[in-house]
Amino acid sequence: MNRQRTISKKVKMSGIGIHTGKDVSIALTPLPPDSGIIFRRVDINENIDIPATIDYVVSSERGTNLARESVEVKTVEHLLSSLYGLGIDNILIENEGGEIPAGDGSANDFVKLIDSAGIKEQAEEKNCVCVAQPVYHTDNDILIAIYPDDNLSLSYTISFGHKFLDAQYAYINLNENEYRTKVANARTFVFHNDVEALMKSGLIKGGSTENAIVITDDGLLEGELRSPLEFVYHKISDLIGDLCLTGVRLKGRIVAIKAGHKSHIDFVRKLKRYIHLMPVFEAPNSEPIYDIDAIKGFLPHRFPFLFVDKITYIEGKKRVIGVKNVTFNEPFFCGHFPTASIMPGVLIQEAMAQVGGMLLLTTVDDPSTKLVYFLGIDKAKFRKTVVPGDTLVFDLTTIRLKRNICEMRGEAFVRGELVAEGEFKAMVVDK
């Protein structure tokens, strides 16, 4: 599945929300490439879209809830699991009632809904990310980690110390076939002893044995398992749904031990931060988009006050990454300090501002006729010293851009560790 996917036509589904107990519905609509997965509450405010990303998670208690500007959609994980498992990248989910229908408690009803719409492959390639180093989340005896690999696989261990459900382990390679045959049909489950407390907390108002497995001390309250590993497969399904919130197609080997929605979300937050910083980690060895000669065509600075050696990443008007190699030959080391060479913090901020200036000047029609004046620096912090031999990597992101005024947030890294940060306000003017 190297190409992006959407569905072929609009389809609808209704049912009961497992936590709200309300009648709820969804309508799935195809979207063009690079749109992502979008939720929209058509019963409240059709003008507020909620992207299915970790930035909009507001709760992970017995499910994953997304919200934006007080507009909320609850229990999205099973639907997101089906979308990620089937490789759907671009889709609009119109919701009424504030919760996703529970179906039978698994992702299978959503798989059937997507199949009824038909899967459509799009021309653009998926946004795939292969991790270059392990990323961990731990909390006491809970572990979730991803390790470098060429494919996406998941292993999951659950352990409850319960008479009927003690421990289970499962491993899958996440592809469409494995998802359909092993994961999609696995239902959510709850221990009978927890039901009363959950109801008092305002949860599972729509829960029943029709949309959940209820476990007693002696076995199932009703029905039979669909698979001997249904419990652990459902935890894998939940994790897949939460991984969808990274907004990318992952490649790596994921290991989860005694995890749940809260730890999934904590892990995804850490993983999303790592993914965001991957261009920073790669910058020192990356080929330049703009080398020093090109930079001199944009910035008016010259020796000894040009502090950018190359630009390695530019994302439109949103983000820029630049590199400064710090050597003992820097003239400021003569006086700062003769017996302990430390790069002045103000010059780190100046270098960061120059990288931000590159972002602005690369977006104007004739940069040779423009200058960037910095109007202010706010929230400047210095966390580590920078010394000869260090390679500074500057990562600047646009906060606000209006006409010729721009506000940016900048971070400076050495070997992937944050050493300085600040927020800048600048203006582009004619020379």
**Residue 104 token pair:** 């039978």
Query: How many other CB atoms sit within 10 Å of the CB of residue 403?
Result: 7
Contacts of 348 (CB under 8 A, 6+ apart): 382, 386, 392, 412, 419, 420
Distance of CA 313 to the CA centre of its chain: 19
Contacts of 227 (CB under 8 A, 6+ apart): 182, 185, 186, 233
**Residue 77 token pair:** 């994980």
User: Is 261 an active-site residue?
Assistant: yes
Q: Nearest to residue 72, comparing CAs of 81, 84, 85, 63?
A: 63
Q: How far apart, in whole angstroms, are the C-alpha atoms of residue 35 and residue 2?
A: 16
Distance of CA 364 to the CA centre of its chain: 30
Q: Which amino acid is at 212?
A: A
Residue from 137, 234, 261, 264 carrying the catalytic annotation: 261
CB-based burial, 22-53: b 16+ in 10 Å, e otherwise:
eebbbbbbbbebebbbbbbbeebeeeeebbbb
Contact, 170 vs 230, CB < 8 A? no
Contact, 205 vs 199, CB < 8 A? yes
Q: How far apart, in whole angstroms, are the C-alpha atoms of residue 268 and residue 265?
A: 5
Q: Which helix (H) or strand (E) holds 30?
A: strand 23-30
User: Is 336 an active-site residue?
Assistant: yes
Q: How far apart, in whole angstroms, are the C-alpha atoms of residue 349 and residue 397?
A: 15
Instruction: Provide the annotated active-site residues.
Output: 261, 336
